[in-house]
Structure 1
Amino acid sequence: MRRFGCVILLIGLAVAAFVGFRFVAGWKEQGPAAQDVSITVPEGATLSDAAVLLKRSGAVRSADAFLTRAKVFGGGTSIKAGEFVIPAKASNSDILSILQGGRTLTRLITIPEGMPSILVHERLMANDQLTGSIPVPQEGSVLPDSYAFDKGEPRAAVLKRMQGAMDKVLADLWAARAPDTIAKTPKEAVILASIVEKETAVAAERPTVAGVYSNRLRTNMMLQADPTIIYPITRGKPLGRRIRKSEIAAVNDYNTYAMVGLPKGPIANPGRLSILAVLHPAKTRALYFVADGKGGHIFADTYQQHNENVRKWFEIRRARGEL
């Protein structure tokens, strides 16, 4: 009888040792997920809540086992809220480190420089990981940049960050403006910057383009910026054809071929560098510019010089078969 009891004791100890070994080994061994999975831990969720989410996603074999191991080996650090990517085969230990470290999945939505607000609206509305509706934002109110967002976040919240970023950048740049800027108000700076943005894609040219337009405004010359013809027609979307003579002559609040001074509002959302160019324009006597055939522009101080530059540009276009 005594011998039987010893056998039972030894079996019990062996089972306990095996269970203990499996408990410890299970903390570091590969998990069951065959591919990366993502889980969203809501604000205020507990470790127990996260364990259930992990089980549902297939990242762990048992919610209870993960929870117990995490409490024993996890060091007591609380988990973070957010969306997390759990790599394929991640161990319990790896998963807890991810949740505690707060390495959340970064989702970005990008607004390019010069994008008009109607296209900003379309881009936000087309993103199926955002929620809710928004109106078309005021033109010039959004700062072009890449913005992080969480899955399920309201579009209104993302747009608010975009507009808050523009408010901050504009306030900072306006406070440090050069004394010779033609802009009398931050709004005027954004209006002119939106034109500069649409006229050149070459960053190094922006201060000179801003200088040309500043010179024109000082001498009461028309700005004659083609993008201002297009804006009231398409709200800033590409026209997709050549501008018609009737559109050049059209009188409205934006067409700078039919008015002296700035349009009534921006024609796009300008980036930081275009606003900076307007507030710190190049010191130039140039009043004209035309494409140089290489992606940039050539500038001229006089109308005679400009006509010669235009002639060269037409020669380039004829040689390309564009005319």
Structure 2
Amino acid sequence: MRRFFSRLLLATALLLALTAIVLAWLLNSPIPLREATLELEIEQGSSMRQVARQVQAAGIDVNPLLFELLARGSGQAQKVKAGSYEVSAGETPLTLLRKLVRGDSTQGEFVVVDGWTFRRLREELAKLPGLRITSAGLSDAELLARLGVQQSNGEGLFLPDTYFYAKGGTDLQLLARAQRAMTRHLERAWSARAPGLPLNSPQEALIMASLIEKETGLAADRPTIGSVFYNRLRIDMPLQTDPTVIYGLGPGFDGNLRKIDLQTDTPYNTYTRRGLPPTPIAMPGKAAIAAALHPPATPYFYFVARGDGSSEFSRTLDQHNRAVARYQKRKGNNR
């Protein structure tokens, strides 16, 4: 019996030694990469399990469970820092973990501003230091196709937020992250929407949010502006919102909206056409999306800018006309 236990202990020791050797070899072996250099984005607030999954999703072929156990076993799981990291050939699980713990990222910062158009987003993207611009010669439709989007209009596809990027990364990588962020956020917001909205899809919610975004001068007015648009939709009243007309005029718009512009029919002219325009007209932020999906019940059908960023809301056309005379008659900014 004593000999049996001796052999069992020896076998166990050999097994543990072999396991340690295999683990050491795995942790110190170069990680297979999908490309020679990859950009890894660790999102703010991620758990270690989520970090391990983000590593694998970036094209870094390390077992998520092994990477998580490495971090937890070494006491580093709570020390990983969010940010963008450049991962090159030769990186091992150990060196990658050390890089994430040190926050060893060479990164820039890109802020997508609420209300930007896709044209403005591309212009600002091209100015970023250290970012490789690979889409300069592409049309909007060609760029979107590279991202897997089969449409020519990029409005509303990218979530306004702050994005960190690794120096040497590409504009398409950064845009893909902003697109995924919008997809995730819109899916969550749509699933939690208020009941009874006259919307048929998340895309229509995005269109409504973009109208609210472009019409809002004061953040507190967003929900009420949304309620005005919904009240109009429910009675088949034209939305009559100037930003859609301006968007339909294209980049040639000179900043002066004329009466003839309001009367010239385009797919985006909400004076000549009822219902929502065919696409979003800008990048709506999270607050505008929330306003579009959780509007308050109000009796208002009209609003006009007061000139200080806020809006005056009215129930009837007569009340609205008086408000226009009070605030906007000289500017000719009647809705």
TM-score normalised according to structure 2 size: 0.63
Verify: 1:189 aligned to 2:190, yes or no: no
Question: Contact 1:183/1:279 (CA < 8 Å) preserved in 2?
Answer: no
2: CA distance, partners of 1:246 / 1:126 = 36
**CA distances 1:116-172 after superposition (whole Å, capped 9, x unpaired):** 011111111222411132343521101111100011101110000000000000000
Q: What are the ranges of 5 or more consecutive residues in structure 2 without an aligned counterpart?
A: 1-36, 39-75, 87-97, 145-153
Partner of 1:300: 314
**How much has 1:180 moved relative to structure 2?**
2.7
2: CA distance, partners of 1:124 / 1:258 = 35
Consecutive aligned runs of 4 or more in structure 1 exceeding 4 Å deviation: 80-83, 97-100, 315-318
**How much has 1:184 moved relative to structure 2?**
1.7
Q: Please tell me whether Structure 1 or Structure 2 has the larger radius of gyration of its CA atoms.
A: 1
Q: What are the ranges of 5 or more consecutive residues in structure 1 without an aligned counterpart?
A: 1-41, 44-76, 84-96, 319-323
Identity of aligned residues (%): 38
- Pairing of 1:73-222 with structure 2 (within 5 A): 82=85, 101-134=102-135, 135=138, 136=140, 137=144, 138-222=154-238
For the aligned residues, what is the CA RMSD? 2.6
Of 238, 253, 258, which residue of structure 2 is paired with 1:244? 258
**How much has 1:178 moved relative to structure 2?**
0.3
2: CA distance, partners of 1:274 / 1:122 = 23
- Pairing of 1:45-60 with structure 2 (within 5 A): none
Match of 1:117, as an amino acid? F
**CA distances 1:157-204 after superposition (whole Å, capped 9, x unpaired):** 000000000000000000000003222210100111101100013211
**CA distances 1:239-261 after superposition (whole Å, capped 9, x unpaired):** 44321222111111111011111
Question: Contact 2:306/2:328 (CA < 8 Å) preserved in 1?
Answer: no
Partner of 1:229: 245
2: CA distance, partners of 1:144 / 1:156 = 16
* Cα 1:213/1:82, change in 2 over 3 Å: closer
2:236 match: secondary structure: coil
2: CA distance, partners of 1:102 / 1:292 = 48
Partner of 2:268: 254
**CA distances 1:12-39 after superposition (whole Å, capped 9, x unpaired):** xxxxxxxxxxxxxxxxxxxxxxxxxxxx
**How much has 1:316 moved relative to structure 2?**
7.8
2: CA distance, partners of 1:309 / 1:230 = 23
Match of 1:152, as an amino acid? G
Match of 1:127, as an amino acid? L
1:246 match: secondary structure: helix
Partner of 2:300: 286
* Cα 1:296/1:82, change in 2 over 3 Å: same
1: CA distance, partners of 2:315 / 2:103 = 57
2: CA distance, partners of 1:150 / 1:276 = 31
2:110 match: secondary structure: strand
Question: Contact 1:180/1:280 (CA < 8 Å) preserved in 2?
Answer: no
**CA distances 1:56-112 after superposition (whole Å, capped 9, x unpaired):** xxxxxxxxxxxxxxxxxxxxx9xx9957xxxxxxxxxxxxx9997234344210110
Match of 1:173, as an amino acid? A
User: Which stretch of the first structure deviates more once superposed, 200-209 or 218-227?
Assistant: 200-209
Partner of 1:309: 323
* Cα 1:103/1:316, change in 2 over 3 Å: farther
Question: Contact 1:183/1:278 (CA < 8 Å) preserved in 2?
Answer: no
* Cα 1:314/1:252, change in 2 over 3 Å: closer
Question: Contact 2:107/2:167 (CA < 8 Å) preserved in 1?
Answer: no
Match of 1:171, as an amino acid? E
